[in-house]
Amino acid sequence: MALIQPHGSKELKPLLAKEGEKKELIKKAEKLKKIPITSRESGDLIMLGIGGFTPLEGFMGYEDWLTCSKEMVLPSYNSLFWPIPITLSAEESIAGSLSRGDEAALFDVDTETILGIIKVEEKYKIDRELECKEVFKTTEMKHPGVKMVMEQKEINIGGKVVVLSESYFPEKFPSLYHTPFDSRKIFEERGWSTVAALQLRNPMHNSHAYLAWIAIEVCDGVYIHQLIGKLKPGDIPADIRVKAIDALINKYFRKERVAAGGYPLDMRYAGPREALLHALFRQNYGCSHLIVGRDHAGVGDFYGPFDAQKIFQELPEGALKIKPLPLDWTFYCYECGTMASMKTCPHDSIAKIDDNGNYLGGARLLLSGTLLRKLMSEGKKVPKEFSKPEVIEILKEYYDSLEKKEKIELHSKADPNIK
């Protein structure tokens, strides 16, 4: 069987400049007016370049932004399903100096490099609160995704792009960073046609591993797909996370049933809507299924634990070819003596640990990345049931090296174990 088709297209549509044209385009870009772009916009631009956002041809104009925000469809692409706006913003002074048809260089302020060129088709202002209410279901500034939108520049610029660089990702993560062409080649070489993607932004604790093992039972293989763009303060950096995940994969998975890759986006923490975006670009990467567990792409208490599963049930027929693999809340059960889920475990009591990580009694140890980060950052004991010793050792070394440790706040719906 063949791999799943890309979203809205029979083939991937990368926007990277061809090697023979790249040098001349870079010279041209250096003479153009520059639009500084954020790390979120840089990640989006690279995904456009490598075909991860197939079939988009650039940053959205006003009608696509508005209809995407409100209805999750794009008028410019024959009402194609798309769950989150992909937009570019610029300061009013820069936008005012550009006219329709002008070209401008897209300048990554973090790396001080030109990543692409945009041909200006539209300049427009947006209702930021509308986008936040529709996409994030809140306008509270403590939500990191809302903060991202509310702090973007005054004018949005829509237009087609040509991408000149994949930034530092291929060099910094040479064995992990994948384009959709790379992942599809891996799947085809292994003879996989059904592939479940596991979205990760945290080191892999035992619940993540359990989800992956379940997926392998029903699919040809699992693609552990890690975000290697920017996260919020207090989250574990990508290079440490990659090291910890590799340690777990190498010892506890069959090599022919698992592949690991990384993608260059920043987290938006948009909960259900971001779960849909995760599914969409995993389809482009060749995955037939997306594992959707508890609080997928959520943050704090902004979303219900299974809102991301519910939103897939509300999609119109044919919106996506990729299918969700909804899995229940998983945990370690001291009564069962093994990993289990709400569907399989008959023991209802919640296990309690003190703030030093010592077991106090009860059955279900509900595992979360937030709780793991809190225990590690405070130098406290992590229960052995939480994660594999190889992972804990890597994380301990990282946290011990920090001069200043970010304060980690637990949130009630995900971390009821602390007494």
Query: Which residues are annotated as catalytic?
Result: 201-202
Sign of CA dihedral 236, 233, 354, 346: negative
Which two tokens mark 116?
């692409």
Nearest to 268 by CA among 70, 71, 44, 7: 44
Give the DSSP per-residue string, 254-311. -GGGEEEEEE-PPP---THHHHHHHHHHHHHTT-SEEEE-TTTT--TTSS-TTHHHHH
**Cβ contact 84:268 at 8 Å:** yes
Contacts of residue 152, Cβ cutoff 8 Å, sequence gap at least 6: 38, 89, 128
Q: What own/partner pairs with CB < 8 Å and gap ≥ 24 does 349-356 have?
A: 350/416, 350/417, 351/417, 352/417, 352/418, 352/419, 353/383, 353/417, 353/418, 353/419, 354/418, 354/419, 355/380, 355/418, 355/419, 356/380, 356/381
State how far the Cα of 269 lies from the Cα of 297, in Å rounded to an integer.
Answer: 5
State how far the Cα of 294 lies from the Cα of 413, in Å rounded to an integer.
Answer: 10
240: region left, alpha or beta (phi > 0 left; psi from -120 to 50 alpha): alpha
CA 7 and chain centroid, separation: 17
State how far the Cα of 191 lies from the Cα of 221, in Å rounded to an integer.
Answer: 10
